C-alpha cells in the first residue's frame, strides 16, 4: 500500500487507505511525540529546548487516524 500523498488530503475528515495504526499521523513523522514526552515526564529543560528550536511543533495540526475502516465482507461471507 502506498503512502498517502499530501496533495490528496482534505480539510474535513475523510477515508484514506494506509498501513499506519489508529492514533498515528496519516503522513510524515509525528513531530509532537518529543514535545508530549517532555511535557508528560516534567522534563522542563527538554521542553524549553524543543520549543526554542522548533516552536511550530506546538501549533501543528497533522492529519490523524481516528478509526479503522474495513472493507465490507463479500456476499459469500454474509450468507448462512
Each residue of 41-63: pLDDT tens digit?
999 999 999 999 988 887 877 87
Domain limits, the chain:
28-67
Which parts of the chain sit beneath pLDDT 50?
80
pLDDT score recorded for residue 1? 64
pLDDT score recorded for residue 42? 94
- In this structure, how many other beta carbons lie within 10 angstroms of the beta carbon of residue 80? 2
pLDDT score recorded for residue 43? 94
CA atoms within 13 A on the CB side of 1: 6
The answer to whether the pTM exceeds 0.85 is no
Amino acid at each position: 500500500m502506498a503512502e498517502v500523498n499530501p496533495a490528496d488530503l482534505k480539510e474535513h475528515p475523510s477515508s484514506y487507505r494506509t498501513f499506519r495504526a489508529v492514533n498515528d499521523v496519516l503522513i510524515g513523522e509525528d513531530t509532537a511525540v518529543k514535545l508530549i514526552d517532555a511535557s508528560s515526564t516534567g522534563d522542563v529543560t527538554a521542553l524549553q529546548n524543543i520549543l526554542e528550536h522548533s516552536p511550530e511543533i506546538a501549533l501543528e495540526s497533522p492529519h490523524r487516524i481516528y478509526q479503522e475502516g474495513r472493507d465490507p465482507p463479500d456476499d459469500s461471507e454474509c450468507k448462512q
